[in-house]
Amino acid sequence: MYWDVKAVRPLGDYEIYVELEDGRKGVFDLKPYLNHGVFRELQDRNYFSRVDIMFGAVTWPHEQDIAPETLVAGLKPVATEGNAEPGV
């Protein structure tokens, strides 16, 4: 699907850098979710850093995930010129 995630990595301040199959790249802020339900576990920075991709979605080991619609809606685009990527 056009919004499948092909790359993800944790950034500081509870954000993740995401690359989608359609070429979009951006940063998604998870801070608004950290005090709710299963996402509370992401407050542990070591656990947060275990972000991964499963079936094209952003996930963590204990089955937390970000719905694709939510991810796309909240993605803050980053520059794509010259392989520009936010730092860690």
Provide the residue-wise pLDDT of the chain in tens; the chain has 88 residues: 678 999 999 999 999 999 999 999 999 999 999 999 999 999 999 999 999 999 999 999 998 999 888 999 999 999 764 444 555 4
Q: Cα dihedral angle (84, 12, 30, 62), rounded to 10 degrees?
A: 110
Q: What is the CATH number of the domain that holds 56?
A: 3.30.2020.10
**Which pTM does this prediction carry?**
0.86
Q: How far apart are CA 10 and CA 49, in angstroms?
A: 6
Residue 88 lies in a domain: no
Q: What is the pLDDT of residues 47-69, one digit of tens each?
A: 999 999 999 999 999 989 998 88
In a domain, 66, yes or no: yes
- Give the angle subtended at the CA of 24 by the CAs of 55 and 10, to the nearest 5°: 65
Report the number of distinct structural domains present in the chain. 1
Rg (CA), the chain: 12
62 assigned to some structural domain: yes
Q: Which domain holds residue 43?
A: 5-83
- Total residue length of the chain: 88
